[in-house]
Amino acid sequence: MSHAYRAVGWNRQKKLVDASLAVGIGLYLVLFLACQFGLHPTCTIETALIRAFGTAALLLLHIILSIGPLCRLDPRHLPLLYNRRHLGVAMFLLALAHGGFSLVQFHALGNLNPFVSLFVSNTRFASLPDFPFQCLGFAALTILFLMAATSHDFWLANLTAPVWKTLHMSVYAAYALIILHVALGVLQAETSPVLATLLGAGLLWVLGLHLAAGQKERRADAAPQPPEQAGYADVCAVADIPEKRARVVLLGGERVAIFRYDGKISALSSICQHQNGPLGEGCIIDGLVTCPWHGYQYAPDTGASPPPFTESVPTFRVRVENGRVLVDPRPCAPGTRIEPARIAG
């Protein structure tokens, strides 16, 4: 939960996921190489490896970009989100291997430094068929390196969540560069429509998922504000909140998670302090609100993490009247204890 206490939480789930990921990548590379040499017996091992690592990285990037919207559309995908950073680092290593083999294959045998050759050997930027697509791949790899290098919670804490989040949102810039890299590179000489079709299908898949998830979030945010009674908003009935779960409402432009547990009701901000995760989509475990993204926890009545952790979120005053839940839209300072509302009976 925090970089100050354990560098990496190598729990059983992470070990299983990482082992499965390594086996899956290994099987993909073996099968790809077998198919490559079966279809193209004259292909060199260097070329085959460049293609194997490149396609594996591209496939894994599509999986990574699909996890976020899938979780918003269906919470059953949340376990994938918990290990997404591991997938990102693995994807970067595959892309790095692809770029390294390409640099040696195409730029290391001349008189120029390979990195200098990469940028000066082709400067026909005005020509679509001869565009220097390798520069696009290098730019994408640089972004992926920055993301992989700052994937640990140490950087999240020291860069601050907004800066860290902005940096890691640049994955979409890297994705656009990679799509152009492939489209202006290998597809220029490809006569079969299979690769172009797969690339287009992957792009449409990612865009479609993000649009669908965004539309769902927009509908939730556009819901009418609940009516107020003496400064309190009537948000829902007690029966509308599942036990040890929450109902998320928009109050004053902020998403508020209203939790029901052990005959009580508490309300706190639905934005986790770790990566702005959706607390309201989590549940109460061992008496603590647990974020579904990475397991960060907060006491429902104070919004504070248990010691020795120091994260906290704003809380809201709550009342229960005639089976209805009333919430004061004005947030209290993060970590402020608010007496939970008791459910009659």
What is the SS3 string spanning 233-289? EEEEEHHHCCECEEEEEEECCEEEEEEEECCEEEEEECECCCCCCEHHHCEEECCEE
Spans of the chain below 50 pLDDT: 1-8
| 3-class secondary structure, 83 | coil
**What superfamily would CATH give domain 228-342?**
Rieske [2Fe-2S] iron-sulphur domain (2.102.10.10)
- pLDDT at residue 71, as a whole number: 84
- pLDDT at residue 308, as a whole number: 83
- Cα separation, 4 vs 72, in Å, equals 30
- Which residue has tokens 């204890």? 337
- pLDDT at residue 138, as a whole number: 96
| Distance (Å) of CA 277 to CA 53, 54, 271 | 32, 31, 6
- pLDDT at residue 1, as a whole number: 38
Cβ within 8 Å of residue 251, ≥6 positions away:
225, 226, 233, 235, 316, 327, 329
Rounded to 5 degrees, what are φ and ψ at 231?
85, -5
Q: Please state which CATH class domain 12-220 belongs to.
A: mainly alpha
Q: Where are the domains of the chain?
A: 12-220, 228-342
Residue burial 299-309, b: 16+ Cβ < 10 Å; e: rest? bbbbbbbeeeb
In terms of Cβ atoms closer than 10 Å to its own Cβ (0-12, 13-18, 19+), residue 77 is middle
pLDDT tens digits for 265-303?
A: 999 999 988 877 888 888 898 899 998 877 789 999 999
